[in-house]
Amino acid sequence: MLSFRTELENPVVEKDIVELEKKIHAFQSGQLPEEKFRSLRLARGIYGQRQKGVQMVRIKLPYGKMTYRQWIRIADLSDEYATGNLHLTTRQDIQLHFVSLDKTPELWAKLSEDNITIREACGNTVRNITGSFIAGVDPEEPFDITPYAHAAFEYFLRNPVCQDMGRKFKIAFSSSEKDTAWSFIHDVGLIPRIREVDGKEVRGFKVVIGGGLGAQPYLSQPVYEFLETDLLIPYIEAVLRVFDRYGERTKRHKARMKYLLADLGLEAFGERVKEEWKAIRHKRYPIDGTDPVPVLPAEAPVIPAFQLRDPKKYEIWKQTNTFRQKQGDYYAASIRVPLGDIPSETARRLAAKLQTITADDVRVAPNQGLLFRYVQPAHLPYFYHILEEEGLAEPGFDSVADVTACPGTDTCNLAISSSTGIAEALEAVIREEFPLLVHNKEIKIKISGCMNSCGQHGIATIGFHGSSVKSGTRVLPALQVLLGGGILGSGAGRAADKVIKVPSKRGPDVLRYLLKDYETEAKPDESFIDYYDRQGNKYFYTLLKPLTDLSTLKDEDFVDWGKAEDFVPAIGVGECASVVIDLVATLLLDAEEKAASAAEGLQEGRYADAIYHAYSTFINAAKALLLGEQVSCNTQIGILNDFDKHFVSTGRFPFEGSFKEHVMQINRQEPGAEFARTFLDSATAFLQEAQTYHRAKAGVAQEMAV
């Protein structure tokens, strides 16, 4: 059964941090290639910024949850190591920017003191497992998904199956059929359900797979209408093994699972999942689904005398930013956090005051806001008063007025134009010209600095992503406008359609045109999405076409939001996942490290881990020799086929039988001690022969050069 293990109690945390420090020193001294080091630091939550010499550190908060102590710890460390700002992300993480690489091990060590990790927050790993931010208090949830999301987080953290895949992998747990975690844009999305079996209630999940945004949005496909909770983690593990083995690894833009699923088809993908079932470590994985017991504030806390500055605004805030929990005696209250940025000083003051009247459970919402739980109705005015004091009392949480935006060109290598500046301008339009829309939670405005959709513009009702437009010899920042995305519920959704591209400084006019047209032309009670469908893409293209006229440009149009100088396109190399490592010596070193990890797993009785590390030893060593012969290696299964073709069948490398058949024993054997030992022995022997082959070839090449 699941136990809530803490980061401090995990004996490998200290080893992780020490290893990171050693690898940093090896990289800085020239002993570790940049490509290898990049993949390693990314898998430890350390991401290169647009600005040279500093890092963004991403803190992994499963399903967005943190205690007040953790929140204060993060705020304190932001002051010590970063900029004194906490950036809340659309994937319920917190990011610290402008961190020195040398200081990252020390930062991680101090985070771990309060059970906080950065492990696998970036890189080709299972990223932060997200969950509905209202889970546990959602009046419509069949059960609290929190224990199941936490079990998945613990199970896959540091799991050998998902440490160096072709690309990142995302999992989301929604709390109800409303799908507030947007399961349909994830590699694995989950909707909780209950069925009656033999007169008993049984918990399970609807399972959808293969979703993703980026430049080419894919909506997920359903694979189970009901999968029992005991089968949840075994199924995800089998999916990960298939993705790791068959997923693309050379063409980065085609390396997400959505493309593998599209290439294979759902049925063939499912067959490969079944092929892995025998080899997974647990055929069933029971999870204790008991609702977590909240740490509640005192029944009668001491509340100082206070007076609301704007009682009328409080009433609007109460309507838009709070709801009655499924625990009927309490309310949940939310805070709009502009651009997801909250100063550490503000975070500490909020924590000190709010923990007296709320549960010790703060959730980061995917709209970059915060949710607080178990507020007594009588304490809501004081809650609001605290927000007034901090300048965070704006109503309209998760409404059209609550714009989501990634950091864009402020820090990201991939961003083309500003997303934060235009987001502030759009919020001002709503606040000043359409104030009643704080009550509209159907329209969502989302902005990304590029087409990759970190701001989730790809599922926005009204979306924008950064771009550029050329006017004569000059280039100006632009926005691609997208319309019609959204949640349909029960694991289904809509991707937004591209409509038109306009200069960035005309973004506020785009919003004015759209909202005024909707106000005057929509039918009574017609949603914006229905209105968009009725009018059609061409209608909105024609509506916005006047804003594309470049003959009326002014000098200010060539300056991006929040900037002082003319716009210059400058796109760096993205680090959303580790690059493909194609150095033969580095791959052989990787194989050595995998063999050592396998031996450690075998010694500790972690047979499934040992077997997977041994498998990786085979793969990396074979890939090294193939690349040495200029043979392209796109997938792991391709490596197995190509090694047989180029080495075994030609007699260039002595191997009895088929190399592929030998290595693929991994999914035909139960993960026990005997197979783990023999498989590792075989992998180690193969590695030694591969190293001998490489040295001999290198020696011949050197002689020829002389």
Average pLDDT, the chain: 92
pLDDT at residue 408, as a whole number: 84
CA 9/CA 113 separation, integer angstroms = 10
In three-state secondary structure terms, 37 is: helix
Give CA 249 to chain center in angstroms. Answer: 19
Q: What long-range pairs does 253-260 form, CB within 8 A, spacing at least 24?
A: 253/215, 255/166, 255/167, 255/577, 256/167, 256/168, 256/187, 256/212, 256/214, 257/167, 257/169, 257/187, 257/209, 257/210, 257/212, 258/187, 258/210, 258/211, 258/212, 258/218, 259/218
pTM of the model: 0.93
Concatenating the DSSP letter of every residue in 469-535 gives EEETTEEEEEEEEEE--EEEETTEEEPPEEEEEEEGGGHHHHHHHHHHHHHHHSPTT--HHHHHHHH
Residue 581: pLDDT above 70?
no
Q: What is the pLDDT of residues 323-361, one digit of tens each?
A: 999 998 999 999 999 999 999 999 999 999 999 999 999
Residue 320: what pLDDT?
98
Residue 59, pLDDT score: 97
Instruction: Identify the pLDDT of residue 39.
Output: 85
Most confident residue range from 407-421, 458-472, 562-576 = 458-472
Report the pLDDT value the prediction gives residue 705, as an integer from 0 to 100.
45
Hey, what domains does the chain have and what are their CATH numbers?
1-122 (3.90.480.20), 124-290 (3.30.413.10), 311-390 (3.30.70.3340), 404-558 (3.30.413.10), 584-705 (1.20.120.330)
Cβ atoms within 10 A of the Cβ of 321, count?
29
Q: pLDDT per residue over 375-415, tens digit each?
A: 999 999 999 999 999 999 999 999 999 999 998 888 887 88
Mean of pLDDT values over 23-38: 88
pLDDT for the residue 696: 86
Is 165:252 a contact under the CB 8 Å cutoff? Answer: no
pLDDT at 152: 98
pLDDT, average across residues 636-655: 94
> Which of the pair, 536 or 453, is modelled with greater confidence?
536
Give the CB-side neighbour count of residue 474, counting CA atoms within 13 A: 16
Q: Average pLDDT in the 445-474 region?
A: 92
pLDDT interval class at 698 (50, 70, 90):
low
> Residue by residue, what is the 3-state secondary structure of 243-255?
HHHHCCCCCHHHC
| C-beta separation of 371 from 408 below 8 A | no
Give the long-range contacts of residues 299-303, CB within 8 A, separation 24 or more.
301/356, 301/357, 301/379, 302/356, 303/356, 303/357, 303/379, 303/382
Q: What is the pLDDT of residue 109?
A: 94
Q: What is the mean pLDDT of residues 77-94?
A: 97
685 vs 581, which has greater pLDDT? 685
Q: Please, which pLDDT band fits residue 2 given cuts at 50, 70 and 90?
A: very low
Q: Which of 22-31, 222-231, 364-373 has the lowest mean pLDDT?
A: 22-31
Residue 185: which of 213, 156, 154 has the closest Cα? 213
**What is the rounded distance in angstroms from the CA atom of residue 328 to the CA atom of residue 137?**
9
Whether pLDDT at 11 is above 80: no
pLDDT band at 586 (very low <50, low <70, confident <90, very high): confident
- What single DSSP character describes residue 438? G
pLDDT tens digit string along 468-492? 999 999 999 999 999 999 999 999 9
pLDDT band at 685 (very low <50, low <70, confident <90, very high): very high
Residue 172 phi/psi, 5-degree rounding, is -135, 140
Q: What is the distance between the alpha carbons of residues 388 and 108, in angstroms, rounded to a whole number? A: 34
What per-residue confidence (pLDDT) applies to 574? 54
Provide mean pLDDT across the span 82-111.
96
Residue 649, pLDDT score: 94
* pLDDT of the residue at 589: 86
